[in-house]
């Protein structure tokens, strides 16, 4: 049976769960017991890496891993246990207790200067910080918008049209050189990093893995389509001001034109996307399925929770 030679390499394991999953994918050992997920830290390296590896089979896979394992029933059973542990923790830590209007308005409130990663990078960041930031974010940005595409078949009418319009921009509006994932690869090149897809998976910290896993979790489950829309709204509404600060950081440090352009592009594009998300994607979805409002709120609060965890981790590392 042929094995693909292309694609990223399987990562180094970080515990029993991730070791069992990667061994199974190499045909080198049994899968872990799904019950083991219930006793594992939901935001920790081991569970998040194991879940990330399971999800990556739905994107580009791994070198040497048989493509048919994407839908292996025993692997899906393990993935379901990992998802349940992760999702249960998110519902406890990011409950959807406020109204949608209140939560959306909260996204428009700018963080206090100096209180977040983009402020730190704008005011104090050095090239080493920008490289560390790009290394982490590469786990998502090299497949930017791909997780969100899963929701398109689950939407209809105005929500589908609005989501498709935004995704069209994310995928370059018909130009391969303007695909946002390619723009981020160009940014990495400017920063002296390897832009190969999946190159820095071993360097990805647990909070970054969790954030990417959140997108895949919401995108791959039709029952969580409202949460995916909420996540998408959180990203698009908060992106423009943060991107403006990151563009300034790239310019101040002399990171390079492509590095600066990635964020200036997002300042303009996401300011427009914010309006489309609120008016058409959320508005259209609620016209069709008003009962999904709490799920949209959950998608927003869960995203904010994980972004805060990631920001705290990065700032703690940089301030040592």
- Please give the pLDDT value at position 268: 76
pLDDT higher than 80, residue 271: no
Chain segment 206-223, per-residue pLDDT in tens: 999 999 999 999 999 999
- Grade residue 187 by pLDDT with cuts at 50, 70 and 90: very high
| 3-state secondary structure string across the chain | CCCCCCCCCCCCCCCHHHHHHHHHHCCCCCCCCHHHHHHCCCCCHHHHHHHHHHHHCCCCCCCCCCHHHHHCHHHHHHHHHHHHHHHHHHHHHCCCCCCHHHHHHHHCCCCCCCCCHHHHHHHHCCHHHHHHHHHHHHHHHCCCCHHHHCCHHHCCHHHHHHHHHHHHHHCHHHCHHHCHHHHHHHHHHHCCCCCCCCCCHHHCCHHHHHHHHHHHHHHHCHHHHHHHHHHHHHHHHHHHHHHHHHHHHHHHHCCCHHHHHHHHHHHHHHHHHHHHHHHHHHHHHHHHCHHHHHHHHHHHHHHHHHHHHHHHHHHHHHCC
- Grade residue 16 by pLDDT with cuts at 50, 70 and 90: very high
- Please give the pLDDT value at position 74: 97
- Please give the pLDDT value at position 3: 66
Cβ pair 97, 271 in contact under 8 A: no
- Please give the pLDDT value at position 188: 98
pLDDT higher than 80, residue 199: yes
- Please give the pLDDT value at position 2: 59
CA 46 to centroid of chain Cα atoms: 18
User: Which is nearest to 3 in space by CA: 45, 53, 89, 62?
Assistant: 62
- Please give the pLDDT value at position 96: 85
Average pLDDT over residues 133-143: 98
- Grade residue 112 by pLDDT with cuts at 50, 70 and 90: low
Domains of the chain: 16-92 (no CATH), 98-318 (1.20.910.10)
Average pLDDT over residues 10-21: 98
Average pLDDT over residues 9-31: 97
DSSP-derived 3-state class of residue 276: helix
- Please give the pLDDT value at position 6: 78
Chain segment 56-72, per-residue pLDDT in tens: 999 999 999 999 999 99
- Please give the pLDDT value at position 72: 98
pLDDT higher than 80, residue 110: no
| Mean predicted lDDT score pLDDT of the chain | 94
- Grade residue 267 by pLDDT with cuts at 50, 70 and 90: confident
pLDDT higher than 70, residue 252: yes
Average pLDDT over residues 132-142: 98
- Please give the pLDDT value at position 1: 52
- Give me the phi and psi of 9, to 5 degrees please: -75, 150
Cβ pair 191, 259 in contact under 8 A: yes
User: Which is nearest to 261 in space by CA: 195, 201, 191, 194?
Assistant: 191
Q: Where are the beta strands (DSSP E) in the chain?
A: none
pLDDT higher than 70, residue 94: yes
């Amino acid at each position: 049976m042929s094995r693909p030679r292309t694609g990223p390499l399987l990562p180094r394991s970080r515990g029993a769960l991730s070791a069992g999953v990667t061994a199974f994918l190499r045909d080198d050992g049994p899968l872990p017991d799904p019950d083991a997920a219930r006793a594992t830290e939901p935001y920790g390296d081991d569970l998040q890496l194991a879940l990330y590896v399971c999800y990556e089979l739905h994107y580009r896979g791994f070198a040497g891993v048989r493509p048919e394992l994407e839908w292996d029933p025993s692997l899906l059973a393990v993935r379901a246990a990992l998802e349940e542990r992760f999702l249960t923790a998110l519902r406890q830590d990011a409950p959807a207790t406020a109204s949608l209007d209140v939560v959306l308005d909260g996204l428009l409130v700018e963080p206090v200067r100096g209180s977040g990663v983009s402020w730190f990078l704008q005011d104090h960041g050095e090239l080493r910080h920008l490289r560390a930031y790009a290394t982490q974010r590469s786990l998502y940005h090299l497949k930017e918008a791909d997780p969100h595409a899963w929701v398109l078949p689950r939407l209809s009418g105005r929500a589908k049209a609005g989501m498709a319009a935004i995704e069209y921009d994310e995928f370059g509006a018909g130009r391969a050189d303007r695909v946002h994932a390619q723009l981020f690869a160009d940014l990495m090149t400017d920063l002296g990093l390897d832009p190969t897809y999946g190159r820095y998976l071993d360097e990805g910290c647990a909070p970054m893995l969790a954030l990417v896993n959140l997108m895949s979790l919401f995108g791959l489950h039709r029952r969580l389509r409202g949460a995916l829309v909420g996540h998408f709204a959180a990203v698009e509404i908060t992106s423009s001001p943060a991107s403006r600060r990151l563009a300034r950081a790239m310019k101040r440090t002399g990171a390079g034109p492509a590095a600066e352009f990635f964020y200036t592009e997002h300042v303009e594009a996401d300011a427009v996307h914010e309006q489309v998300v609120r008016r058409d994607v959320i508005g259209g979805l609620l016209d069709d399925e008003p009962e999904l409002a709490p799920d949209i709120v959950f998608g927003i609060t869960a995203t904010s929770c994980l972004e805060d965890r990631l920001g705290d981790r990065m700032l703690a590392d940089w301030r040592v």
